[in-house]
Amino acid sequence: MNYQESLEALMALGRELAMPRQARVEEFGLANITMLAEALGNPERSMPCVHIAGTNGKGSTAAMLESILRTAGLRTGLYTSPHLERINERIRLNGEDISDEKFAMAWTRMHAAIESLLANGKLPAHPTFFECVTAMAFLTFAGEPVDVAIYEVGLGGRFDATNIVVPEVSVITSIDFDHENFLGHSIPEIAAEKAGIIKPGVPVVSASTRPEARAVIVRCCAEKNARLVEIEQEWQFREPESEDGFYRTTAVARSSKVALDVRPSLPGRFQISNALTAASAAHLLAERKFPISDEHISRGIATTRWPGRLERLRKNPSVYLDGTHNPAGARELRRFWDENFEGRRIILVYGAMRDKAVDEIANLLFPRADVLIFTEPRQPRAISAVLLAEMTSDLARESSIIRDPIRALEHAIDMSSPSDAIFATGSLYLVGDLLTYWHKREISKAV
């Protein structure tokens, strides 16, 4: 198949969260991906890897670690989800999205294996969208080959399709409430799902600060005889160093054996914890004879790019896109506002998915926004902007409804003054819609 045919066949399977609202993670499992990987020759076993789970920060941590490894001269594979603009973003080789040609090659080979398994009655049903993309990542990284692959968990950990890998290092970032219908309604339940990636004898880096989550991770590591490195949440901030005056996370940070000057290129205080987590994972890899130095770590963290996470598109007015899709993320965004935008007018463009904790997020963000524009990501699971306004508009000082996200963003820019700050947030799908539009907008302006 060519790229377009491969893409259409894959997208026909649906997105990874198109599952019944009341389904639980136990209903899924690793049988399909295990059988498919075996039919492909277990490509996931052909290279060292790092496996990353968590509620928030796992994508940023994965991106920082990948940048560190590439800075050290290692050829990298990076598998993350979801994508923002093109599905190719999910599978990256040495910092670049997989090419259309390699995407089609991976799909064609995997599709043939699936058809054979189905014909022989070995698979009861076609693997899911996420299982297929995961298998394509395995094939792509094995075929290059890469020196180190980094896999971000899609949902949970224990039964996530990525959890057939046996990594050099396992990483668990912050743990908080999200996807409760799938992972459980308490922190210990959610932590147990995330800790499901812990393998016997494989060292673990944990950035979790909640005591009940830490207790679960400590117990799981003890049961699996896995060394645990916990990130110390203490650092000393230096003065802000940025051309526009907003707070940059420059710090002298210490974590177990890690003591570094850390200046993440990604804005937001929370990125220091992600940077320390990536640095600690890199140190564990260095102990396992990977050629990584402290200089590689510092430079890799300082040059990381990770779109859609407090990404600033322009100045005067400042326009930011951020995938704030759960309460923990909303708390960090509110802190970012408090630290950087005191006394400045904030215009919030907000659109979310139906399965998110909208009430709690709204209570955190909406009262601080001077103007609120309700909109809708271009996804079937998006909550109606009208319904969203009915539920939460009483929290806003001034609000309006513009269902089309592009019109909503342009209206925010039109009504703003140069000193204002505009934030479009609530869903990574909304961020993806607006990034695609913005890139086309900038190209058309340049012509």
- Residue 139: left (phi > 0), alpha (psi -120 to 50), or beta? alpha
Higher pLDDT, 199 or 324: 199
**Beta carbons within 10 angstroms of residue 394's beta carbon:** 10
3-state helix, strand, coil in the chain (%, to 5): 45, 15, 40
Tens of pLDDT, residue by residue over 407-428, are 999 999 999 999 999 999 999 9
The more confident residue out of 104 and 11 is 104
Average pLDDT (315-340) is 93
Distance CA 81, CA 447 (A): 33
The least confident of 16-20, 164-168, 258-262 is 16-20
The pLDDT of 189-214, averaged and rounded, is: 96
Tell me the average pLDDT of the chain: 89
**How far is residue 257's CA from residue 293's CA, in Å, rounded to a whole number?**
13
Read off the tokens for 392.
């939460």
Tell the residue number behind the tokens 């007015």, with chain if given: 317
Is the pLDDT assigned to residue 346 strictly greater than 60? Answer: yes
Of residues 22 and 358, more confidence is placed in 358
Which phi and psi (to 5°) does residue 120 adopt?
-90, 0
Read out DSSP for 375-438?
---SSTTBPPHHHHHHHHGGG-SSEEE--SHHHHHHHHHHT--TT-EEEEES-HHHHHHHHHHH
Mean of pLDDT values over 115-137: 95
Residue ranges of alpha helices (H) inside 72-162 are: 100-119, 129-143
Q: Starting at the earlier edge strand, list the strands of the sheet with 204-206.
A: 96-97, 91-93, 76-79, 148-152, 49-53, 169-172, 204-206, 228-230
pLDDT band at 24 (very low <50, low <70, confident <90, very high): very low
According to the model, what pLDDT value does residue 180 have? 65
Q: Range with the lowest mean pLDDT among 190-194, 263-267, 312-316? A: 263-267
pLDDT (0 to 100) of residue 408: 98
**Do 30 and 164 touch, CB atoms closer than 8 A?**
yes
How does DSSP assign 251-275, residue by residue? Answer: EEEEETTEEEEE--SS-STTHHHHH
Nearest to 350 by CA among 361, 335, 341, 360: 361
Model pLDDT, residue 233: 55
Element (H, E) at 364: helix 358-365
Please report the pLDDT score of residue 241 as a whole number: 40
| Average pLDDT value for residue range 372-391 | 94
Of the listed ranges 26-35, 67-76, 349-358, the least confidently predicted one is 26-35
For the chain, what percent of residues have pLDDT higher than 90?
A: 77
Mean pLDDT, residues 159-187 taken together:
90
pLDDT per residue as tens digits for the range 229-264: 998 755 544 444 444 434 344 444 444 555 666 778
Cα dihedral sign for 12, 154, 383, 21?
positive
Predicted pLDDT at 362 = 95
